[in-house]
A and B are shown apart, each in its own frame.
Chain A
Amino acid sequence: MEKQLINESKIQNLTFECETGNYHTFCPISCVAWLYQKIEDSFFLVIGTKTCGYFLQNALGVMIFAEPRYAMAELEEADISAHLNDYLELKRLCSVIKKDRNPSVIFWIGTCTTEIIKMDLEGIATKLETELGIPIVVARANGLDYAFTQGEDTVLAALAQSYGTKIEEKKKKEVSNTSKNLILFGSIPSPVAYELTNDLLKLGIEIAGWLPSTRYTDIPTLKEKDFVCGVNPYLSRTATTLMRRRKCQLITAPFPIGPDGTRAWLEKICQVFNLPPQGLEEKEKLNWKLLKPYLEVIEGKSVFFMGDNLLELSLARFFIKCGMIVYEVGIPYLDKRYQLSELNLLEATCLEMKTFLPIIVEKPDNYNQLDRIQDLKPDLVITGMAHANPLQSRGINTKWSVEFTFSQIHGFTNAKNILDLVLKSLKGQITVNNLNWKNYNILV
């Protein structure tokens, strides 16, 4: 019994390809980096090996030194060979965490290793919750199944599944009320969340809350028939969980990235609540006007997404609307149902801007992509750090994709930040190219 609010046409002309999956991306456990900052009363415990710890220590950079509310439960040989009891070990560590930090919730992040040795995290968590008197949420954000930002998806899906269920059991089942609440899901910085909340308020829609909120204890209760809507393109599991487990109704909309996306997102919600989308058109127009100085520089420039954080489709759509040309959209994973509206908007945008449709490549192969980049010579390649410097040295301009994950990019006022990132790269190129040395790779 799923209800998804779809009243859109099928995707007509986009081409989807799927390659070998030999691509570079961050491990999904990296989501602790932004989630521990977002949920202020939480503690994240990553249960994994030295490899996981080393990755986090290097990827989180300076954050590590600020006594973060996250730690590794580093598995040693005795844990792997079951000489030690998982339950007792985790109890020991979580007691220490409780004593030192006293969080309202502990998230256990399962990794590849816990998958392979089949550690029963969910089972142990249920036991320990009652013993320690602290909620434990288990999310399996491992590299066997997921890429980079999908880590957040597993955490939010786990939250959506468990949050508030116990409270409901205590209360008698209320008669499902018909005043349908709207809950937004996706972790974005508080100022951005405030802005989107405010935009909805102006249209007469008061939201019941966010998943996640800045505090674990503030997450709204989810009831049957509640409306839910995502703000990030990589949250398909969370969406599915909300629909199937919590019987919520999903509003499928393009994502509020870029003025065009933000407007489409707001309009879609208005449509569901039968409200007129007042003043959105003017607002979008005004925003485009303010972006004009950027657009003059980037118009006609070509972009190639190698793909690693699942924001690629929304960004590509926004860039095309800005007058850029997108050759290829690499993406680790594409849920065509969850991203349906975004795909439709992408198609419509290409039609409107009279440009060709980009090829969408799922599970890309970086080696083949580098070949294609050499042939196409795009003005900008959006890629991970592993390829950024080598491409720069070959005279190909790059932007590090992770920056889009960590910057404020949602809503009307933040479109500027996206273009700032692009412009930094392009402007840098203009400056440096005046020097006449373009190739830093081979001595000619």
Chain B
Amino acid sequence: MKLAYWMYAGPAHIGTLRIATSFKNVHAIMHAPLGDDYFNVMQSMLERKRNFTPVTASVVDRHVLARGSQEKVIQNISRKDKEENPDLVILTPTCTSSILQEDLQNFVNRASQESKADILLADVNHYRVNELQAADRTLEQVIKFYMEKFEKDKTIPQIKTSQPSVNILGPCNLTFHVQHDLAELKRLLKDLGIKVNLIVPDGLNINELKLLPQAWFNIVPYREIGCLSAVYLEKKYSMPYINTSPIGIIQTAEFIRQIQDILNSKNLNVNFEKYIDKQTRFISQSAWFSRSIDCQNLCGKTAIVFGDATHASALTKILSQEMGVKVLISGTYCKSDDEWFRSEVKNFCQEVIITEDHNLVANIISSLQPSAIFGTQMERHIGKRLNIPCGVISAPVHIQNFPLGYKPFLGYEGSNQLADLIYNSFTLGMEDHLLEIFGGHDTKEIIKVSNEEILWDTEANDQLKKIPGFVRGKVKKNVEKFAKKNNLKSITIHIMQLCKESLNT
């Protein structure tokens, strides 16, 4: 057993659901107890989805415990099949249902005979993989299933597109800044004269998967989700893939050069060096920004970076290579990507940590006292507690990191956004520091001294403290007014109640 109240990556079924709900017209049925369908709340709340999340629970209750699911799962699948007419239903086990060891594959086989939709059982072990690994596997499973099916039906087009084209693998629901990143990625590819063939799974209709092999190569923008599928497609259709994330000026250039190599290996003879140069020096602002006088102040400042492998490694490189910031610690919670992460960042930071324990991260931050933190929602709060500014660069995040405005992390606009984020994090810290030195804001608060003090007894004071900050002042004023009106010198809980009853509050 582990004592914890926070985890960086969620349970496996969340990953499966992220993939399932990202495809168009795919329905997920969870084999789960009541209340495990919290995913729907996250979709509706964080991503502000306008549509009902296509996830239903086949509820595991006492009866199921006693007699097994029997026909229940099959009925639920058939019912959804009729109601929604999905192309695919993914049966998703949860931690709870995996202990029951029911033969879910058998339900899937039986339901397949009766329903129009294809039916798959998500093949993930809930006690061994986390959300990200599960998403990676589920995506591979779906692609594999359909490629084999299309092979059988001989419906796969055998030619490549005339213009160079790519598939983007992995962008799915609840991915950090994914919609903005996709827009930026499309723009970049368009500049290079490359057509986007398919984006999988984001908004894709499952039957379009047959067009996968007609692309020239694949791109996996985020390491965590999509690599398995890219490897599978490479093996099966010898499609090369790129899994360098174009985050930051240097990595973006690297990413473009890799595309160049692939295109040249297909006898296209392109040269993107001029494009890279122009974008870097004039179109994007971040390279010039780091040369500008302002950025000299960042030189030698210290930072700690923590997040998923993709974003934490990219940020580490940007800070140390592009901004001259000293990265004390670079870390990730993606334990399965341990080796890659170490080799990637070892030259750009003083120390690497790989952990899923937020307490360890908090202790390191508080002992090293960096000038800024770049991390997840958790690090933001650690920073708040320690008065250290924090820029959020990676999931898990909360609703404020699903912004409406255009905020990509990828490509040239992404590097502008990142420069702002980094610079603002440091200057905020600096401003606070200066204020402290010079004795705070000069607000000239006019303090009225009332000639008759009204005393709050401890009980009433405690009660007052429990009132949310933004109305506390108002409540306090009202109660004191009430006390004055009634010639009372001290305030008790009882008087607060009386005041409330007189409904002046």
Q: Which residue of A lies closest to B501 (CB)?
A: A413
Cβ A58 vs Cβ B56 within 8 A? no
* A380 and B35 alpha carbons, distance in the complex (Å): 24
* A190 and B467 alpha carbons, distance in the complex (Å): 11
Instruction: Give the distance to chain A from B364, nearest Cβ to Cβ, in Å.
Output: 17
How many interface residues does chain B have, given as a range? 35 or more
* A77 and B12 alpha carbons, distance in the complex (Å): 14
Q: Mark A129-172, 1 if CB is under 8 A from B, else 0.
A: 00000000000001111111000000000000000000000000
* A64 and B382 alpha carbons, distance in the complex (Å): 11
Known: A50-B7, A51-B11, A194-B493. A390 touches B44 (CB 8 A): yes
* A223 and B49 alpha carbons, distance in the complex (Å): 53
Interface residues of B in 456-498 (CB under 8 A from A): 463, 466, 493-494, 496-497
Interface presence of A432 (CB below 8 A): no
Q: Which residue of B lies closest to A290 (CB)?
A: B503
Q: Which residue of B lies closest to A21 (CB)?
A: B59
* A412 and B99 alpha carbons, distance in the complex (Å): 48
Q: Which residues of A contact B52 (CB under 8 A)?
A: 370, 386-387, 390
Cβ A49 vs Cβ B44 within 8 A? no
Residue from B2, B42, B45 whose CB has the most chain A CB atoms within 10 Å: B2
Q: Mark B35-59, 1 if CB is under 8 A from A, else 0.
A: 1111011111100111111001101
Instruction: Give the distance to chain A from B362, nearest Cβ to Cβ, in Å.
Output: 10
Q: Identify which of A7-15, A25-33, A240-248 touches chain B.
A: A25-33
Interface presence of B186 (CB below 8 A): no
Cβ A386 vs Cβ B60 within 8 A? no
Instruction: Give the distance to chain B from A4, nearest Cβ to Cβ, in Å.
Output: 26
Q: Mark A12-56, 1 if CB is under 8 A from B, else 0.
A: 000000000110111111100000000000000001011101111
Total interface residues on A, CB under 8 Å, equals: 74
Cβ A71 vs Cβ B493 within 8 A? no
Contact of A142 among B7, B33, B41, B95 (CB under 8 A): B33
* A386 and B57 alpha carbons, distance in the complex (Å): 13
Cβ A71 vs Cβ B5 within 8 A? yes
Instruction: Give the distance to chain B from A86, nearest Cβ to Cβ, in Å.
Output: 8
Cβ B33 vs Cβ A143 within 8 A? yes
Known: A74-B1, A393-B50. A50 touches B40 (CB 8 A): no
Q: Which residue of A lies closest to B38 (CB)?
A: A55
Residue from B4, B43, B44 whose CB has the most chain A CB atoms within 10 Å: B44
Cβ A79 vs Cβ B45 within 8 A? no
Q: Which residue of B lies closest to A384 (CB)?
A: B41
Q: Which residues of B contact A370 (CB under 8 A)?
A: 52
Q: Mark B425-451, 1 if CB is under 8 A from A, else 0.
A: 000000000000000000000000000
Q: Which residues of B contact A24 (CB under 8 A)?
A: 37, 40-41
Cβ B381 vs Cβ A51 within 8 A? no
Cβ B1 vs Cβ A84 within 8 A? yes
Interface presence of B300 (CB below 8 A): no
Q: Identify which of A110-118, A261-269, A310-318, A350-358 touches chain B.
A: A110-118
Q: Which residues of B contact A148 (CB under 8 A)?
A: 35
* A50 and B12 alpha carbons, distance in the complex (Å): 9
Cβ B14 vs Cβ A72 within 8 A? no
Q: Mark B196-223, 1 if CB is under 8 A from A, else 0.
A: 0000000000000000000000000000
Q: Which residues of A contact B501 (CB under 8 A)?
A: 412-413
Q: Which residues of B contact A428 (CB under 8 A)?
A: none
Interface presence of A208 (CB below 8 A): no
Interface presence of A305 (CB below 8 A): no
Contact of A112 among B11, B12, B96, B126 (CB under 8 A): B96
* A440 and B398 alpha carbons, distance in the complex (Å): 24
Cβ A22 vs Cβ B59 within 8 A? yes
Interface presence of B94 (CB below 8 A): yes
Q: Which residues of A contact B41 (CB under 8 A)?
A: 24, 58-59, 384-386
Known: A27-B34, A76-B127, A388-B44. A113 touches B95 (CB 8 A): yes
Known: A51-B13, A51-B36. A57 touches B61 (CB 8 A): no
Q: Which residues of A contact B38 (CB under 8 A)?
A: 26-27, 54-55, 58-59
* A269 and B65 alpha carbons, distance in the complex (Å): 42
* A27 and B95 alpha carbons, distance in the complex (Å): 14
Q: Mark B274-287, 1 if CB is under 8 A from A, else 0.
A: 00000000000000
Cβ B35 vs Cβ A27 within 8 A? yes
Q: Which residues of A contact B130 (CB under 8 A)?
A: 50
Q: Which residues of A contact B36 (CB under 8 A)?
A: 27, 51, 55, 143
* A384 and B37 alpha carbons, distance in the complex (Å): 12
Cβ A93 vs Cβ B61 within 8 A? no
Q: Which residues of A contact B53 (CB under 8 A)?
A: 386, 390
Interface presence of B293 (CB below 8 A): no
Interface residues of B in 69-109 (CB under 8 A from A): 76, 83, 94-96, 99-100
Instruction: Give the distance to chain A from B483, nearest Cβ to Cβ, in Å.
Output: 17
Q: Which residues of A contact B500 (CB under 8 A)?
A: 195, 413
Cβ A72 vs Cβ B35 within 8 A? no
Instruction: Give the distance to chain A from B345, nearest Cβ to Cβ, in Å.
Output: 27
* A71 and B4 alpha carbons, distance in the complex (Å): 6
Q: Which residues of A contact B497 (CB under 8 A)?
A: 191, 194-195, 198
Instruction: Give the distance to chain A from B466, nearest Cβ to Cβ, in Å.
Output: 7
Interface presence of A275 (CB below 8 A): no
Interface residues of B in 105-147 (CB under 8 A from A): 126-128, 130
Cβ B40 vs Cβ A51 within 8 A? no
* A28 and B38 alpha carbons, distance in the complex (Å): 12
Residue from A64, A92, A117 whose CB has the most chain B CB atoms within 10 Å: A64
* A49 and B4 alpha carbons, distance in the complex (Å): 11
Interface presence of A219 (CB below 8 A): no
Interface residues of B in 315-362 (CB under 8 A from A): none
Q: Which residue of B lies closest to A116 (CB)?
A: B99
Interface presence of B235 (CB below 8 A): no
Instruction: Give the distance to chain B from A371, nearest Cβ to Cβ, in Å.
Output: 10
Instruction: Give the distance to chain A from B384, nearest Cβ to Cβ, in Å.
Output: 8
Cβ A58 vs Cβ B42 within 8 A? yes
* A400 and B139 alpha carbons, distance in the complex (Å): 33
Interface presence of B10 (CB below 8 A): yes
Instruction: Give the distance to chain B from A27, nearest Cβ to Cβ, in Å.
Output: 3
Instruction: Give the distance to chain A from B380, nearest Cβ to Cβ, in Å.
Output: 9
Q: Which residue of A lies closest to B41 (CB)?
A: A385
* 14 sampled A-B residue pairs with Cβ under 8 A: A21-B59, A24-B40, A27-B36, A53-B6, A56-B5, A64-B5, A76-B2, A90-B1, A112-B96, A116-B99, A143-B34, A191-B463, A384-B41, A393-B51
Give the interface of B toward A (CB within 8 A): 1-7, 10-14, 32-38, 40-45, 48-53, 56-57, 59-62, 65, 76, 83, 94-96, 99-100, 126-128, 130, 378, 381, 384-385, 398, 463, 466, 493-494, 496-497, 500-501, 503
Beyond A50-B95, A77-B127, A386-B41, list 17 extra A-B contacts (CB 8 Å): A24-B41, A28-B35, A49-B126, A50-B126, A56-B5, A64-B5, A65-B385, A72-B4, A75-B1, A146-B34, A367-B56, A388-B44, A390-B50, A390-B53, A393-B51, A441-B50, A441-B51
